[in-house]
Amino acid sequence: MASAVGSSAAVPFWRAAGMTYITYSNICASLVRSCLKEPCKAEAASREKVHFAISKWANGKPEKPIVVKLYVMA
């Protein structure tokens, strides 16, 4: 039985290219959205916006959250 350590096991191509899976999936999603025709393209573009909040914790309690808005661009 071969050991997995030091073996030449298959590596996903996105990992071999030095990307994370999230980066790879974002690239794929943006390519798919760019291939869409209107009105689906405009609807998909509206879903590229990402909003989330970050809260730092001090003394066991969350401080005021910071809202972050990102616009994913291809």
Complete domains list, the chain, with CATH: 13-70 (1.10.1620)
Over residues 7-47, the pLDDT tens digits come to 557 788 888 888 888 888 888 888 888 899 988 888 887 77
Burial-class residue 15 by CB neighbours within 10 Å (0-12, 13-18, 19+).
exposed
* Integer Cα distance of 57 and 1 in angstroms: 49
Taking the whole predicted model, whether its pTM rises above 0.75 is answered as: no
